[in-house]
């Protein structure tokens, strides 16, 4: 059964949709010639719906930068927001 849902809209109305389960999550990418943004929806080890939003390289262009990794819909008790952290490669 679908837990996550994603849609795609280009020059027309919504043209495609995909679903993700609690075990698979769902990953989306939006790219240009200068880089991309990737969103990953997942369930963390405490059962909280979370999303990771990051800049990623696309066809050798762009940068790797974590923009947010945390709960969808607000922070839960004991969780902290991650914003603007570079990836583990220091880029």
Share of the chain above pLDDT 90, in %: 58
Residue 85 pLDDT grade (very low, low, confident, very high; cuts 50, 70, 90): very low
**Bridge partner residues of 28 (DSSP):** 39
Computed on alpha carbons and rounded to an integer, the radius of gyration of the chain in Å comes to 14
Best CA proximity match to 4, nearest among 17, 61, 36: 17
For residue 81, the model assigns a pLDDT of 59
pLDDT at 61 over 80: yes
Name residues whose C-beta falls within 8 Å of residue 35's C-beta, 6 or more positions apart in sequence.
55, 56, 57, 58, 61, 62, 63
Q: State the average pLDDT for the chain.
A: 84
Ramachandran assignment for 78, one of left (phi > 0), alpha (psi -120 to 50 degrees), beta (any other): left
Residue-wise pLDDT tens digits, 18-37? 999 999 999 999 999 999 99
d(CA 70, CA 22): 16
Residue 75 pLDDT grade (very low, low, confident, very high; cuts 50, 70, 90): low
User: What pTM was computed for the model?
Assistant: 0.76
Tokens 């949709």 identify what position? 17
For residue 82, the model assigns a pLDDT of 56
């Amino acid at each position: 059964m679908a837990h996550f849902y994603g849609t795609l809209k280009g020059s027309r109305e919504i043209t495609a949709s995909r679903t993700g389960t609690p075990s698979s999550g769902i990953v989306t990418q939006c790219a240009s010639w200068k880089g991309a943004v990737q969103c990953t929806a997942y369930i963390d080890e405490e059962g909280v719906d979370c999303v990771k939003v990051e800049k990623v390289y696309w066809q050798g262009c762009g940068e790797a930068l974590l923009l947010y990794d945390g709960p969808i819909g607000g922070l839960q008790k004991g969780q902290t927001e991650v914003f603007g952290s570079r990836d583990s490669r220091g880029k």
